[in-house]
Amino acid sequence: MSKKPQTVRGMNDILPETAASWQFLEKEVENVIEAYGYRQVRLPLLEHTEVFRRSIGEVTDIVEKEMYTFDDDGDSLTLRPEATASMVRAGITHGLFHNQKQKLWTVGPMFRRERPQAGRYRQFHQFDVEAMGYEGPDVDAELIIMSARLWERLGIDKIRLEINSLGVPESRAGYREALVEYFNGVKSQLDEDSIRRLDKNPLRILDSKNPEMQDIVAGAPIMMDYLDEASAEHFAGLRALLDAAGVEYAVNPRLVRGLDYYSRTVFEWVTDALGSQNAVCAGGRYDGLIEKLGGRSTPAIGWAMGVERFVSLYEACGGQVPTVMPDVYLVAVGEGTQERAFALAEELRDGIEGIRVEMNLGGGSFKTQIKRADKSAANYALILGEQELSEGCIGLKPLRSNDEQESIVLDELASVLKGRLSG
Q: Which residues bind ligand ATP (CB under 6 A)?
A: 82, 112, 114, 119-121, 124, 126, 258, 277, 279-282, 304, 306, 308-309
Contact 357, 345 (CB under 8 A): yes
Among residues 260, 94, 44, which one has the least CA distance to residue 166? 260
Cα distance between residue 321 and residue 54, in whole Å: 41
Contacts of 251 (CB under 8 A, 6+ apart): 162, 163, 164, 224, 239
Would you tell me how many other CB atoms lie within 10 Å of the CB of residue 46? 17
With H, G, I as helix, E, B as strand and everything else as coil, classify residue 303: strand
> Minimum CB separation from ligand ATP for residue 120, in Å?
4
> Minimum CB separation from ligand ATP for residue 378, in Å?
36
Cα distance between residue 255 and residue 222, in whole Å: 10
> Minimum CB separation from ligand ATP for residue 156, in Å?
13
Contacts of 320 (CB under 8 A, 6+ apart): none
Cis, bond preceding 137 (omega within 30 deg of 0): yes
Helix (H) or strand (E) holding 269: strand 263-270
Contact 381, 329 (CB under 8 A): yes
Cα distance between residue 384 and residue 331, in whole Å: 6
Please identify, using beta-carbon distances, which residue of 200 and 209 lies nearer to ligand ATP.
Answer: 209
With H, G, I as helix, E, B as strand and everything else as coil, classify residue 248: coil
Please identify, using beta-carbon distances, which residue of 134 and 310 lies nearer to ligand ATP.
Answer: 310
Please identify, using beta-carbon distances, which residue of 129 and 179 lies nearer to ligand ATP.
Answer: 129
Among residues 376, 370, 336, which one has the least CA distance to residue 358? 376
Q: What's the one-letter identity of residue 214?
A: Q
Contacts of 175 (CB under 8 A, 6+ apart): 167, 203, 221, 223, 225, 226
Please identify, using beta-carbon distances, which residue of 123 and 360 lies nearer to ligand ATP.
Answer: 123
Please identify, using beta-carbon distances, which residue of 41 and 304 lies nearer to ligand ATP.
Answer: 304
| DSSP-assigned letter for residue 60 | S
> Minimum CB separation from ligand ATP for residue 97, in Å?
22
> Minimum CB separation from ligand ATP for residue 107, in Å?
12
Please identify, using beta-carbon distances, which residue of 290 and 311 lies nearer to ligand ATP.
Answer: 311
> Minimum CB separation from ligand ATP for residue 123, in Å?
8
> Minimum CB separation from ligand ATP for residue 282, in Å?
4
Cα distance between residue 265 and residue 233, in whole Å: 11
Contacts of 149 (CB under 8 A, 6+ apart): 32, 35
**CA-CA distances (angstroms) from residue 194 to 185, 204, 209, 223, 382?**
13, 8, 11, 18, 68
> Minimum CB separation from ligand ATP for residue 113, in Å?
9
Please identify, using beta-carbon distances, which residue of 183 and 303 lies nearer to ligand ATP.
Answer: 303
Please identify, using beta-carbon distances, which residue of 280 and 378 lies nearer to ligand ATP.
Answer: 280
Contact 305, 145 (CB under 8 A): no
> Minimum CB separation from ligand ATP for residue 71, in Å?
24
> Minimum CB separation from ligand ATP for residue 187, in Å?
25
Please identify, using beta-carbon distances, which residue of 300 and 393 lies nearer to ligand ATP.
Answer: 300
Please identify, using beta-carbon distances, which residue of 143 and 370 lies nearer to ligand ATP.
Answer: 143
Please identify, using beta-carbon distances, which residue of 256 and 396 lies nearer to ligand ATP.
Answer: 256
Report the 3 state secondary structure along 209-236.
CCHHHHHHHHCCCCHHHHCCHHHHHHHH
Q: Which residue is nearest to ligand ATP (CB)?
A: 306
> Minimum CB separation from ligand ATP for residue 260, in Å?
12
